[in-house]
Structure 1
Amino acid sequence: MERHYYTQYSEHLQREMHVLVYGYTGVPIIVFPCQDSMCDNFENFGMIDVLQDYIDGGKIQIFSVDTVDKESWSDTWGDKGYRAWVQECYYRYIVDEVLPMVHEINGTGQLPLTLGCSLGATHAAIVFFRRPDLFGGVLGMSGCYDATYFTDGWCDENLYNNSPVHFLENMPSDHPYIQLYNERKIILCVGQGNWESEGIRTTGQMADIFYRKGIHGWTDFWGYDVDHDWPWWKKQIRYFLPFLVD
Protein backbone atom coordinates (compact mmCIF):
# COMPACT_ATOMS: atom_id res chain seq x y z
CA MET A 1 0.00 0.00 0.00
CA GLU A 2 1.25 3.47 -0.84
CA ARG A 3 1.59 5.59 2.30
CA HIS A 4 2.87 9.16 2.44
CA TYR A 5 3.24 11.48 5.44
CA TYR A 6 2.94 15.24 4.89
CA THR A 7 3.69 18.14 7.20
CA GLN A 8 2.37 21.62 6.47
CA TYR A 9 2.28 24.82 8.48
CA SER A 10 -1.29 26.01 9.00
CA GLU A 11 -1.81 29.75 8.84
CA HIS A 12 -5.25 29.37 10.40
CA LEU A 13 -4.00 27.31 13.36
CA GLN A 14 -0.49 28.80 13.57
CA ARG A 15 1.20 25.42 13.94
CA GLU A 16 2.45 22.45 11.98
CA MET A 17 -0.25 19.97 11.03
CA HIS A 18 0.10 16.51 9.52
CA VAL A 19 -1.74 14.45 6.93
CA LEU A 20 -1.31 10.73 6.20
CA VAL A 21 -2.24 9.72 2.66
CA TYR A 22 -3.04 6.11 1.81
CA GLY A 23 -3.33 4.96 -1.80
CA TYR A 24 -2.50 6.39 -5.19
CA THR A 25 -5.85 7.30 -6.77
CA GLY A 26 -9.61 6.90 -6.47
CA VAL A 27 -12.37 8.79 -4.68
CA PRO A 28 -10.64 11.12 -2.20
CA ILE A 29 -11.83 10.71 1.39
CA ILE A 30 -10.87 13.09 4.19
CA VAL A 31 -10.79 11.05 7.41
CA PHE A 32 -11.19 12.73 10.80
CA PRO A 33 -9.75 10.85 13.79
CA CYS A 34 -11.56 10.10 17.02
CA GLN A 35 -11.47 12.62 19.85
CA ASP A 36 -8.01 14.07 20.68
CA SER A 37 -6.32 11.76 18.16
CA MET A 38 -3.99 12.48 15.26
CA CYS A 39 -3.62 11.43 11.65
CA ASP A 40 -2.40 7.90 12.51
CA ASN A 41 -5.59 7.07 14.44
CA PHE A 42 -7.26 4.97 11.73
CA GLU A 43 -4.01 3.13 11.07
CA ASN A 44 -3.37 2.41 14.75
CA PHE A 45 -6.82 0.89 15.26
CA GLY A 46 -6.74 -1.26 12.12
CA MET A 47 -9.24 0.70 10.03
CA ILE A 48 -6.78 1.22 7.18
CA ASP A 49 -6.25 -2.56 7.05
CA VAL A 50 -10.03 -2.99 6.78
CA LEU A 51 -10.01 -0.69 3.74
CA GLN A 52 -6.86 -2.08 2.10
CA ASP A 53 -8.60 -3.73 -0.85
CA TYR A 54 -10.37 -0.45 -1.72
CA ILE A 55 -7.12 1.49 -1.33
CA ASP A 56 -4.84 -0.88 -3.23
CA GLY A 57 -7.47 -1.32 -5.93
CA GLY A 58 -7.46 2.40 -6.66
CA LYS A 59 -11.09 2.88 -5.62
CA ILE A 60 -10.35 5.30 -2.76
CA GLN A 61 -7.52 7.50 -1.55
CA ILE A 62 -7.52 8.31 2.17
CA PHE A 63 -6.36 11.67 3.57
CA SER A 64 -6.22 11.35 7.36
CA VAL A 65 -5.79 14.62 9.25
CA ASP A 66 -4.73 15.76 12.73
CA THR A 67 -7.14 17.31 15.24
CA VAL A 68 -6.90 20.16 17.74
CA ASP A 69 -9.69 18.74 19.91
CA LYS A 70 -7.73 19.14 23.14
CA GLU A 71 -8.06 22.91 22.73
CA SER A 72 -11.65 22.96 21.49
CA TRP A 73 -14.17 20.21 22.21
CA SER A 74 -12.23 18.49 25.00
CA ASP A 75 -11.04 21.48 27.04
CA THR A 76 -13.92 21.21 29.50
CA TRP A 77 -12.62 23.84 31.90
CA GLY A 78 -11.33 26.22 29.24
CA ASP A 79 -12.85 29.49 28.07
CA LYS A 80 -15.82 28.57 25.90
CA GLY A 81 -15.38 31.44 23.47
CA TYR A 82 -11.75 30.51 22.87
CA ARG A 83 -12.67 26.85 22.41
CA ALA A 84 -15.30 27.73 19.81
CA TRP A 85 -12.84 30.04 18.03
CA VAL A 86 -10.25 27.23 17.85
CA GLN A 87 -12.83 24.93 16.30
CA GLU A 88 -13.74 27.59 13.75
CA CYS A 89 -10.03 27.96 12.88
CA TYR A 90 -9.85 24.18 12.46
CA TYR A 91 -12.82 24.21 10.09
CA ARG A 92 -11.11 26.91 8.02
CA TYR A 93 -7.88 24.92 8.05
CA ILE A 94 -9.70 21.95 6.50
CA VAL A 95 -11.51 24.00 3.85
CA ASP A 96 -8.77 26.50 2.96
CA GLU A 97 -5.60 24.43 3.46
CA VAL A 98 -6.31 20.68 3.45
CA LEU A 99 -8.82 20.70 0.60
CA PRO A 100 -6.45 22.24 -1.98
CA MET A 101 -3.79 19.73 -0.91
CA VAL A 102 -6.25 16.88 -1.45
CA HIS A 103 -7.08 18.06 -4.96
CA GLU A 104 -3.42 18.53 -5.85
CA ILE A 105 -2.35 15.07 -4.66
CA ASN A 106 -5.44 13.18 -5.80
CA GLY A 107 -5.65 14.76 -9.22
CA THR A 108 -8.97 13.17 -10.23
CA GLY A 109 -11.04 16.34 -9.87
CA GLN A 110 -13.60 14.49 -7.75
CA LEU A 111 -15.15 16.16 -4.72
CA PRO A 112 -13.80 14.55 -1.54
CA LEU A 113 -16.02 12.64 0.84
CA THR A 114 -15.73 13.27 4.58
CA LEU A 115 -15.71 10.42 7.07
CA GLY A 116 -15.22 9.84 10.77
CA CYS A 117 -16.19 7.91 13.90
CA SER A 118 -17.30 9.45 17.19
CA LEU A 119 -16.03 13.05 17.32
CA GLY A 120 -14.49 12.42 13.91
CA ALA A 121 -18.04 12.03 12.61
CA THR A 122 -18.88 15.40 14.14
CA HIS A 123 -16.04 17.03 12.20
CA ALA A 124 -17.00 15.20 9.01
CA ALA A 125 -20.58 16.44 9.29
CA ILE A 126 -19.57 20.02 10.08
CA VAL A 127 -17.42 20.50 7.00
CA PHE A 128 -19.80 18.68 4.67
CA PHE A 129 -23.02 20.37 5.76
CA ARG A 130 -21.38 23.79 5.82
CA ARG A 131 -19.94 23.40 2.31
CA PRO A 132 -21.77 20.81 0.18
CA ASP A 133 -20.46 22.70 -2.84
CA LEU A 134 -16.94 21.51 -1.93
CA PHE A 135 -17.59 17.96 -0.71
CA GLY A 136 -19.20 14.97 -2.35
CA GLY A 137 -20.76 13.31 0.67
CA VAL A 138 -20.37 12.29 4.30
CA LEU A 139 -20.26 9.09 6.34
CA GLY A 140 -20.59 9.76 10.06
CA MET A 141 -20.55 6.87 12.54
CA SER A 142 -21.59 7.47 16.16
CA GLY A 143 -21.27 11.24 15.91
CA CYS A 144 -22.68 13.95 18.14
CA TYR A 145 -24.11 16.72 15.96
CA ASP A 146 -25.07 19.18 18.72
CA ALA A 147 -22.02 21.29 19.60
CA THR A 148 -23.67 22.68 22.74
CA TYR A 149 -23.34 19.20 24.31
CA PHE A 150 -19.66 20.03 24.77
CA THR A 151 -20.31 23.46 26.33
CA ASP A 152 -23.18 22.75 28.74
CA GLY A 153 -25.65 24.54 26.47
CA TRP A 154 -23.54 27.66 25.91
CA CYS A 155 -23.38 28.95 22.33
CA ASP A 156 -21.94 31.84 20.35
CA GLU A 157 -21.73 32.48 16.61
CA ASN A 158 -18.64 30.34 16.13
CA LEU A 159 -20.10 27.40 18.01
CA TYR A 160 -23.44 27.76 16.21
CA ASN A 161 -21.64 27.55 12.88
CA ASN A 162 -20.09 24.25 14.02
CA SER A 163 -23.31 22.71 15.31
CA PRO A 164 -25.17 20.92 12.49
CA VAL A 165 -28.44 20.45 14.38
CA HIS A 166 -28.59 24.21 14.92
CA PHE A 167 -27.56 25.66 11.58
CA LEU A 168 -29.51 23.05 9.61
CA GLU A 169 -32.62 23.59 11.72
CA ASN A 170 -32.57 27.27 10.81
CA MET A 171 -31.69 26.81 7.14
CA PRO A 172 -34.60 27.92 4.91
CA SER A 173 -36.20 25.05 3.01
CA ASP A 174 -35.53 26.87 -0.26
CA HIS A 175 -31.84 27.41 0.47
CA PRO A 176 -29.70 26.33 -2.53
CA TYR A 177 -27.74 23.98 -0.29
CA ILE A 178 -30.83 21.76 0.05
CA GLN A 179 -30.58 20.84 -3.61
CA LEU A 180 -26.84 20.29 -3.27
CA TYR A 181 -27.38 17.95 -0.30
CA ASN A 182 -29.74 15.92 -2.46
CA GLU A 183 -27.09 15.64 -5.16
CA ARG A 184 -24.59 14.27 -2.62
CA LYS A 185 -24.35 11.09 -0.53
CA ILE A 186 -25.28 11.46 3.13
CA ILE A 187 -25.07 8.58 5.63
CA LEU A 188 -25.22 9.00 9.41
CA CYS A 189 -25.11 5.78 11.40
CA VAL A 190 -25.25 5.03 15.11
CA GLY A 191 -25.52 1.93 17.27
CA GLN A 192 -27.91 1.63 20.20
CA GLY A 193 -25.55 -0.10 22.61
CA ASN A 194 -23.06 1.18 25.16
CA TRP A 195 -21.83 4.81 25.04
CA GLU A 196 -24.13 5.75 22.16
CA SER A 197 -26.68 7.96 23.97
CA GLU A 198 -25.63 11.29 22.42
CA GLY A 199 -25.19 9.69 19.03
CA ILE A 200 -28.70 8.30 19.22
CA ARG A 201 -30.16 11.62 20.38
CA THR A 202 -28.46 13.82 17.82
CA THR A 203 -28.67 11.40 14.90
CA GLY A 204 -32.41 11.33 15.63
CA GLN A 205 -32.44 15.13 15.53
CA MET A 206 -30.68 15.06 12.18
CA ALA A 207 -33.21 12.53 10.85
CA ASP A 208 -36.06 14.84 11.87
CA ILE A 209 -34.39 17.83 10.22
CA PHE A 210 -33.78 15.85 7.02
CA TYR A 211 -37.46 14.91 6.88
CA ARG A 212 -38.74 18.43 7.47
CA LYS A 213 -36.28 20.08 5.07
CA GLY A 214 -36.65 17.50 2.32
CA ILE A 215 -33.03 16.38 2.60
CA HIS A 216 -32.48 12.84 1.33
CA GLY A 217 -30.05 11.77 4.03
CA TRP A 218 -29.79 8.18 5.25
CA THR A 219 -29.87 7.86 9.04
CA ASP A 220 -29.34 4.28 10.16
CA PHE A 221 -29.80 3.02 13.71
CA TRP A 222 -28.10 -0.31 14.38
CA GLY A 223 -28.99 -2.77 17.15
CA TYR A 224 -28.90 -2.60 20.91
CA ASP A 225 -25.75 -4.74 20.91
CA VAL A 226 -23.89 -2.24 18.73
CA ASP A 227 -21.51 -0.24 20.90
CA HIS A 228 -19.55 2.97 20.40
CA ASP A 229 -16.35 1.13 19.51
CA TRP A 230 -13.95 0.16 16.72
CA PRO A 231 -15.17 -3.38 16.02
CA TRP A 232 -18.59 -2.01 15.06
CA TRP A 233 -17.21 0.95 13.11
CA LYS A 234 -15.18 -1.51 11.05
CA LYS A 235 -18.35 -3.43 10.22
CA GLN A 236 -20.22 -0.24 9.43
CA ILE A 237 -17.58 1.20 7.12
CA ARG A 238 -17.47 -2.01 5.10
CA TYR A 239 -21.26 -2.00 4.89
CA PHE A 240 -21.66 1.63 3.82
CA LEU A 241 -18.59 2.20 1.66
CA PRO A 242 -20.08 0.55 -1.46
CA PHE A 243 -22.99 3.00 -1.32
CA LEU A 244 -20.50 5.89 -1.33
CA VAL A 245 -17.93 4.86 -3.93
CA ASP A 246 -19.06 1.82 -5.97
Structure 2
Amino acid sequence: MTENYYKWHSPNLGKEFEMLVFGDSGYPLLLFPTSMGRYYESKDRGLIEAIRWFIDEGRVKVYCPDSIDAASWYNKSITPQYRAYNHTCYDKMLIEEVMPRIEAETGRQRIVAAGCSFGGYHAANFAFRYPGRVSYLFSLSGIFDIKSRVDDYYDDHVYFNNPADFMPGNDDPDLWRMGIVLGAAETDVTRPQNEQFSQLLAAKNITHWLDIRPHAHHDWPVWREMLPHYLSLIK
Protein backbone atom coordinates (compact mmCIF):
# COMPACT_ATOMS: atom_id res chain seq x y z
CA MET A 1 0.00 0.00 0.00
CA THR A 2 1.50 3.29 -1.13
CA GLU A 3 1.78 5.95 1.56
CA ASN A 4 2.77 9.54 0.83
CA TYR A 5 3.34 12.41 3.24
CA TYR A 6 2.56 15.96 2.13
CA LYS A 7 3.51 19.19 3.86
CA TRP A 8 3.06 22.70 2.53
CA HIS A 9 2.58 26.27 3.66
CA SER A 10 -1.13 27.02 3.63
CA PRO A 11 -1.93 30.62 2.68
CA ASN A 12 -5.42 30.22 4.12
CA LEU A 13 -4.14 29.08 7.51
CA GLY A 14 -0.91 31.07 7.50
CA LYS A 15 1.10 28.04 8.65
CA GLU A 16 2.42 24.65 7.60
CA PHE A 17 -0.18 21.96 6.95
CA GLU A 18 0.29 18.17 6.82
CA MET A 19 -1.57 15.31 5.19
CA LEU A 20 -1.10 11.57 4.58
CA VAL A 21 -2.29 9.91 1.38
CA PHE A 22 -2.79 6.17 0.93
CA GLY A 23 -3.10 4.41 -2.42
CA ASP A 24 -2.38 5.13 -6.07
CA SER A 25 -5.80 5.25 -7.71
CA GLY A 26 -9.52 5.04 -7.14
CA TYR A 27 -12.31 7.20 -5.80
CA PRO A 28 -10.83 9.98 -3.64
CA LEU A 29 -11.80 9.60 0.01
CA LEU A 30 -11.28 12.65 2.24
CA LEU A 31 -11.05 11.09 5.71
CA PHE A 32 -11.11 13.50 8.65
CA PRO A 33 -9.63 12.75 12.11
CA THR A 34 -11.60 12.84 15.36
CA SER A 35 -11.66 15.86 17.70
CA MET A 36 -8.21 17.48 17.76
CA GLY A 37 -6.87 14.40 15.99
CA ARG A 38 -3.87 14.50 13.69
CA TYR A 39 -3.40 13.48 10.07
CA TYR A 40 -1.85 10.15 11.14
CA GLU A 41 -4.66 9.16 13.53
CA SER A 42 -6.60 6.96 11.08
CA LYS A 43 -3.43 5.01 10.39
CA ASP A 44 -2.45 4.68 14.05
CA ARG A 45 -5.97 3.62 15.09
CA GLY A 46 -6.22 0.86 12.47
CA LEU A 47 -8.85 2.52 10.29
CA ILE A 48 -6.60 2.54 7.24
CA GLU A 49 -5.80 -1.14 7.79
CA ALA A 50 -9.53 -1.86 8.04
CA ILE A 51 -10.03 -0.49 4.51
CA ARG A 52 -6.73 -1.77 3.08
CA TRP A 53 -8.50 -4.04 0.58
CA PHE A 54 -10.22 -1.06 -1.06
CA ILE A 55 -6.89 0.77 -1.28
CA ASP A 56 -4.93 -2.21 -2.58
CA GLU A 57 -7.59 -2.94 -5.20
CA GLY A 58 -7.51 0.64 -6.44
CA ARG A 59 -11.09 1.30 -5.33
CA VAL A 60 -10.21 4.36 -3.20
CA LYS A 61 -7.33 6.74 -2.71
CA VAL A 62 -7.45 8.05 0.86
CA TYR A 63 -6.54 11.61 1.84
CA CYS A 64 -6.07 12.17 5.59
CA PRO A 65 -5.79 15.90 6.33
CA ASP A 66 -4.68 17.32 9.64
CA SER A 67 -7.20 19.16 11.80
CA ILE A 68 -7.01 22.58 13.41
CA ASP A 69 -9.68 21.85 16.05
CA ALA A 70 -7.29 22.92 18.82
CA ALA A 71 -7.16 26.36 17.19
CA SER A 72 -10.85 26.56 16.30
CA TRP A 73 -13.87 24.86 17.86
CA TYR A 74 -11.95 23.44 20.85
CA ASN A 75 -9.90 26.53 21.66
CA LYS A 76 -11.48 27.98 24.80
CA SER A 77 -8.66 30.53 25.14
CA ILE A 78 -10.01 32.59 22.24
CA THR A 79 -13.43 34.11 21.69
CA PRO A 80 -16.16 32.07 19.98
CA GLN A 81 -16.02 34.58 17.11
CA TYR A 82 -12.43 33.59 16.34
CA ARG A 83 -13.11 29.88 16.86
CA ALA A 84 -15.70 30.03 14.09
CA TYR A 85 -13.52 32.28 11.92
CA ASN A 86 -10.55 29.93 12.24
CA HIS A 87 -12.71 27.03 11.10
CA THR A 88 -13.82 29.06 8.10
CA CYS A 89 -10.13 29.43 7.19
CA TYR A 90 -9.77 25.64 7.48
CA ASP A 91 -12.78 25.18 5.21
CA LYS A 92 -11.24 27.54 2.63
CA MET A 93 -7.99 25.59 2.83
CA LEU A 94 -9.86 22.36 2.04
CA ILE A 95 -11.72 23.74 -0.97
CA GLU A 96 -8.89 25.90 -2.34
CA GLU A 97 -5.81 23.79 -1.53
CA VAL A 98 -6.72 20.15 -0.84
CA MET A 99 -9.46 19.71 -3.43
CA PRO A 100 -7.34 20.96 -6.38
CA ARG A 101 -4.61 18.53 -5.36
CA ILE A 102 -7.12 15.68 -5.24
CA GLU A 103 -8.51 16.58 -8.66
CA ALA A 104 -5.02 16.86 -10.16
CA GLU A 105 -3.99 13.45 -8.80
CA THR A 106 -7.19 11.48 -9.43
CA GLY A 107 -8.88 13.34 -12.27
CA ARG A 108 -12.08 13.43 -10.23
CA GLN A 109 -13.94 16.54 -9.18
CA ARG A 110 -16.24 14.76 -6.72
CA ILE A 111 -15.12 12.85 -3.64
CA VAL A 112 -16.21 10.70 -0.73
CA ALA A 113 -16.22 12.63 2.56
CA ALA A 114 -15.96 10.59 5.76
CA GLY A 115 -14.92 10.87 9.38
CA CYS A 116 -15.45 9.44 12.84
CA SER A 117 -16.85 11.34 15.83
CA PHE A 118 -15.93 15.03 15.36
CA GLY A 119 -14.46 13.99 12.03
CA GLY A 120 -18.02 13.04 11.11
CA TYR A 121 -18.98 16.67 11.70
CA HIS A 122 -16.18 17.84 9.43
CA ALA A 123 -17.22 15.41 6.70
CA ALA A 124 -20.89 16.37 6.93
CA ASN A 125 -20.22 20.09 7.05
CA PHE A 126 -17.97 19.89 3.99
CA ALA A 127 -20.38 17.67 2.07
CA PHE A 128 -23.43 19.80 2.76
CA ARG A 129 -21.61 23.06 2.04
CA TYR A 130 -20.26 21.73 -1.27
CA PRO A 131 -22.68 19.03 -2.46
CA GLY A 132 -21.50 19.47 -6.03
CA ARG A 133 -18.06 18.24 -4.99
CA VAL A 134 -19.17 15.27 -2.85
CA SER A 135 -20.70 12.07 -4.22
CA TYR A 136 -20.88 10.19 -0.91
CA LEU A 137 -20.99 11.20 2.74
CA PHE A 138 -20.19 8.64 5.42
CA SER A 139 -20.56 10.19 8.86
CA LEU A 140 -19.53 7.74 11.61
CA SER A 141 -20.86 8.85 15.00
CA GLY A 142 -20.77 12.45 13.83
CA ILE A 143 -22.56 15.54 15.08
CA PHE A 144 -24.41 18.17 13.07
CA ASP A 145 -24.91 21.02 15.52
CA ILE A 146 -21.80 22.99 16.53
CA LYS A 147 -23.45 25.57 18.75
CA SER A 148 -22.23 23.91 21.97
CA ARG A 149 -18.68 24.94 20.95
CA VAL A 150 -19.42 28.68 20.69
CA ASP A 151 -20.91 29.63 24.09
CA ASP A 152 -24.15 31.14 22.68
CA TYR A 153 -22.23 33.34 20.22
CA TYR A 154 -23.69 33.43 16.70
CA ASP A 155 -22.68 34.92 13.35
CA ASP A 156 -22.45 33.88 9.71
CA HIS A 157 -19.30 31.83 10.34
CA VAL A 158 -21.26 29.76 12.86
CA TYR A 159 -24.39 29.52 10.70
CA PHE A 160 -22.62 28.41 7.53
CA ASN A 161 -20.62 25.76 9.43
CA ASN A 162 -23.60 24.38 11.31
CA PRO A 163 -25.52 21.83 9.21
CA ALA A 164 -28.38 21.71 11.70
CA ASP A 165 -29.03 25.38 10.89
CA PHE A 166 -28.21 25.84 7.22
CA MET A 167 -29.53 22.52 5.88
CA PRO A 168 -33.27 23.25 6.28
CA GLY A 169 -32.94 26.03 3.70
CA ASN A 170 -30.36 24.29 1.52
CA ASP A 171 -31.99 23.31 -1.78
CA ASP A 172 -28.90 22.55 -3.83
CA PRO A 173 -30.06 19.83 -6.28
CA ASP A 174 -26.85 17.88 -5.79
CA LEU A 175 -28.03 16.97 -2.28
CA TRP A 176 -30.59 14.66 -3.83
CA ARG A 177 -27.96 12.68 -5.74
CA MET A 178 -25.50 12.27 -2.88
CA GLY A 179 -25.15 8.88 -1.21
CA ILE A 180 -25.53 9.63 2.51
CA VAL A 181 -24.96 7.32 5.48
CA LEU A 182 -25.38 8.48 9.07
CA GLY A 183 -23.82 5.81 11.24
CA ALA A 184 -24.04 5.60 15.03
CA ALA A 185 -23.72 2.99 17.75
CA GLU A 186 -26.64 1.83 19.89
CA THR A 187 -25.28 3.53 23.03
CA ASP A 188 -23.59 6.35 21.10
CA VAL A 189 -23.54 9.78 22.70
CA THR A 190 -24.16 11.13 19.18
CA ARG A 191 -27.15 8.88 18.47
CA PRO A 192 -29.77 11.58 19.29
CA GLN A 193 -28.16 14.06 16.90
CA ASN A 194 -28.02 11.42 14.16
CA GLU A 195 -31.68 10.55 14.65
CA GLN A 196 -32.67 14.23 14.62
CA PHE A 197 -30.63 14.96 11.52
CA SER A 198 -32.10 11.91 9.81
CA GLN A 199 -35.54 13.41 10.44
CA LEU A 200 -34.36 16.70 8.91
CA LEU A 201 -33.16 14.91 5.76
CA ALA A 202 -36.35 12.85 5.58
CA ALA A 203 -38.46 16.03 5.77
CA LYS A 204 -36.60 17.24 2.66
CA ASN A 205 -37.05 13.84 0.94
CA ILE A 206 -33.28 13.39 0.78
CA THR A 207 -32.50 9.70 0.52
CA HIS A 208 -30.10 8.45 3.21
CA TRP A 209 -29.44 5.53 5.52
CA LEU A 210 -29.52 5.94 9.30
CA ASP A 211 -27.39 2.99 10.45
CA ILE A 212 -27.65 2.30 14.20
CA ARG A 213 -25.25 -0.50 15.13
CA PRO A 214 -26.59 -2.74 17.94
CA HIS A 215 -24.47 -3.70 20.95
CA ALA A 216 -21.84 -1.09 20.06
CA HIS A 217 -20.31 2.03 21.62
CA HIS A 218 -18.83 5.33 20.47
CA ASP A 219 -15.35 4.01 19.80
CA TRP A 220 -12.92 2.75 17.17
CA PRO A 221 -14.04 -0.91 17.01
CA VAL A 222 -17.45 0.00 15.56
CA TRP A 223 -15.92 2.59 13.19
CA ARG A 224 -13.48 -0.02 11.87
CA GLU A 225 -16.54 -2.15 11.04
CA MET A 226 -18.61 0.67 9.59
CA LEU A 227 -16.22 2.24 7.12
CA PRO A 228 -15.42 -0.88 5.03
CA HIS A 229 -19.16 -1.62 4.88
CA TYR A 230 -19.94 1.89 3.68
CA LEU A 231 -17.13 1.87 1.10
CA SER A 232 -18.65 -1.32 -0.36
CA LEU A 233 -21.73 0.74 -1.25
CA ILE A 234 -19.84 2.98 -3.70
CA LYS A 235 -20.98 2.31 -7.26
Alignment of 1:1-16 (within 5 A): 1-16=1-16
Q: Tell whether 2:139 aligns with 1:140.
A: yes
Alignment of 1:109-188 (within 5 A): 109=108, 111-171=110-170, 175=171, 177=172, 179-188=173-182
Q: Is the 8 A contact 1:145 1:164 kept in 2?
A: yes
Indicate the residue corresponding to 1:238 in structure 2.
228
Alignment of 1:1-246 (within 5 A): 1-107=1-107, 109=108, 111-171=110-170, 175=171, 177=172, 179-193=173-187, 196-197=188-189, 199-223=190-214, 225-243=215-233, 245-246=234-235
Q: Is the 8 A contact 1:126 1:163 kept in 2?
A: yes
Q: Distance in 2 between matches of 1:228 and 1:42?
A: 16
Letter in 2 for 1:165: A
Q: Distance in 2 between matches of 1:103 and 1:55?
A: 18
Q: Is the 8 A contact 1:28 1:110 kept in 2?
A: no
Q: Distance in 2 between matches of 1:209 and 1:32?
A: 23
Aligned to 1:133, what secondary structure does the other structure show? helix
Q: Distance in 2 between matches of 1:148 and 1:155?
A: 8
> Structure 1 66/20 Cα, relative in aligned 2: closer, same or farther at 3 Å?
same
Q: Is the 8 A contact 1:146 1:165 kept in 2?
A: yes
Q: Distance in 2 between matches of 1:230 and 1:76?
A: 26
**Structure 1: unaligned runs, 5 residues or longer:** none
Q: How large is the Cα RMSD of the aligned pairs?
A: 1.3
Q: Distance in 1 between matches of 2:96 and 2:163?
A: 20
Deviation at 1:110, TM superposition (A): 5.0
Letter in 2 for 1:111: R
Deviation at 1:76, TM superposition (A): 2.9
Q: Distance in 1 between matches of 2:155 and 2:186?
A: 31
Letter in 2 for 1:122: Y
Q: Distance in 1 between matches of 2:226 and 2:139?
A: 10
Letter in 1 for 2:18: H
- After superposition, what is the alpha-carbon deviation per residue over 1:13-49, rounded to whole angstroms, capped at 9, x for unaligned? 1111111110000010011011111110100001111
Aligned to 1:136, what secondary structure does the other structure show? strand
Aligned residues: 235
Large movers: runs of 4+ above 4 Å: none
Q: Is the 8 A contact 1:191 1:226 kept in 2?
A: yes
Q: Distance in 2 between matches of 1:76 and 1:228?
A: 24
Letter in 1 for 2:202: Y
Letter in 1 for 2:180: I
